[in-house]
Chain A
Amino acid sequence: MVLEATMICIDNSEWMRNGDYSPNRFQAQADAVNLICGAKTQSNPENTVGVLTMAGKGVRVLVTPTSDLGKILACMHGLEIGGEMNLAAGIQVAQLALKHRQNKKQQQRIIVFAGGPVKYDKKVLEMIGRKLKKNSVALDVVNFGEEDEGKAEKLEALVAAVNTNDSSHVVHVPPGPSALSDVLISTPIFTGDGEGGSSFAAAAAAAAGGVSGFEFGVDPNLDPELALALRVSMEEERARQEAAAKKAAEEAAKQESGEQPSASQDATISENVNTGTTEPEIKTKDLMDDDNALLQQALAMSMDESSSAVATRDTEMSEAAADDHDLQLALQLSVQEGTKDQSNQTDMNKLLGDQSFVSSILASLPGVDPNDPSVKDLLASMQSQSESQQNKDEDKAPKEEEKK
């Protein structure tokens, strides 16, 4: 919800007649500008937006920064295409327009649509960028249309010179099936507004789909304070959930790394398997109530799951097809989640603990020599691990009993 005054620099040069963006570059750009204006004014009602054109007879300011959306949309009508884009002059005039904004408390931002080729060289652009940075003006550049050699590089250099704290961005949009505005919705130009941008984007997407669904079912025009309050509480809730999810993910990751002493070189594969199987677990944790006991239970189950992944380690080692019935059982157990039987686990562990059984499995696998010293080491470590697993399981079982 940053208080911002924005100047949008439109490219209305000859290069905008091209039809590689549907319906043509100029229309796509106009749609994107409409979307941006709406997003800015929605994210903060005191935001102002102005528009200027960079090509044609010369740089011309169509509307000075205003919060009146209708005025901005109206000025986009009847624009003529012609001439060449003058990037440097456009940015400088935009800076001047922002300097004379009415509310000096607003942050200054310039958004440039660069469709045509850029005739200035890198040094000039970098100097302009430094001047913008000195006066704390942020710059967003949308690079679309002509793919001149060096154009992308020049624009990257320009934005790098302006950028402080990731406030300025450059977005390259190649021609493709999706509309320019759709591509821009997911970029930092929209989401860089913070929460307001993304919620507007959702509403805009819904509106574009033909459904006039307002965010939260409340028309922001009719009741702005209510819409604002709802949006803020939604963002807070989302942030809280993200923090909780992150914490749970960290704890689960810590548990896993504690479980497996990485003796074998397949530790990475098994870890991948682990994260794969625990991720769905983590998601279910999110969906469940933030009940501490339930969370503990889920963590416990994920820990048990890692023990069954030791069995999958065997299968990963050989990449054998699951012809062997025992291997199939092991795979099934590791893939299952949520409805695991405790006793099943301890059975599995007992099986693993039985060294002869394990070595018989290994012998049946092609390419594995049970007399190989590394395999023997692995067996030894697995056995000790499965013993410790058994102990942990026994500890866990009484703990689970207590909790229940």
Chain B
Amino acid sequence: MPFSNLPLLVYIYQIWEEEGIEAIETWNVGEQQELEGDEESKLSIALDINSTCAKVAFFIISKSMNSPTPQFVPSRLGIYEPIHQIGIWGENFKSNGNPNTSTSVIVEVDNKLENESETTSHEMLTASKNYEQEASKPIDKIQRRLAQNREAARKSRLRKKAYVQQLENSRLKLIQLEQELQRARQQGLYMGGVLEGSHIGFSGTVNSGIAAFEMEYGRWVDVQHRQICELRTALNAHISDIELRILVESGIGHYFELFRMKSTVAKADVFYVISGVWKTSAERFFSWIGGFRPSELLKLDPLTEQQILEVCNLKQSCQQAEDALSQGMEKLQETVSSTVAGGPVDEVSYIPQVATAMEKLEALVSFVNQADHLRQETLQQMSRILTTCQAARGLLALGEYFHRLRALSTLWATRPPEPSLP
């Protein structure tokens, strides 16, 4: 409701209340033509404002009169009701201003407006004339105006719907942009650190490798989401085992695709992968050697006893492998650390130490590869142990889990700032 027009109407209200017609001032409202200076015509101008405003007037009036239907609903009853209110309005001022003038205002206005061009703002006054004078206006004219009113209301509802839709889309887009910005900022900071530290001119290749991965990973997440939705609908629809198998295979293959991508970018910049800046913050919290822990794959409850045994074995093997890799990583850290710290401290040149350490860091790439390989093998073994249906449910659970982690990250990023403690 454009309540910006409210002051206008209040003004009209006041004029009628206090001084009758005489003191009305002219003002330009919309595209209405200026009539000659007599008050009736001026009042007609005042009343002859756009339809929305007039509806607002009725809204206010009906509200003030405690009308049971505050909404301006175009209906036969609806049209007449506000007019009724105007009549009452006029009546009320009998005690205040010039009673006769007030009522005569309405009548005179009506008479004046008979000759005006018909707009929706006039229809109520014309209808008022019907009500007041009980004249026999042709019915179809009323019908036509009713239809026009309905049409206008419908258009306004559609516009509102479109507007709300647009708002929702913009909101989603805003969240996405913010996420991208955050990622780019982190990457920018990280890349700034790398560029400062390295004296070798790999930065161009590294940048392009990372940029390519970022794009691919964005697409990967989208495809992943689509696959999860497909899995969900497929499981609910109870499709055949063969079709489900295809979905399961493509789901697992999708993860393998991710491992391939990671392997490529690890060659370009292994620290990028290990740091996990390409993941959302909540996922990063659980990060293990550049990705999720393979043991997180094993959250599913198997059905048969045989399966329980097999999954138990798999859990154990997985854990052992993870531990071995973790210890290897620790050893690598120790080695690199002692290499970097080695040598006399009071010498200016530290290049030999750093160079040696760099060689050792090469091993990090193979660690990332081995970790991904472990993830891959665990996935495959799970799919061997489980039936197709169980595997589908497992994939769905896994994908949903990461999806929720991502949503958690977004929510966390947009939470309101905590109030500072007193």
A and B: interacting chains: no
Q: Which residues from chain B sit less than 8 Å from chain A, CB to CB?
A: none
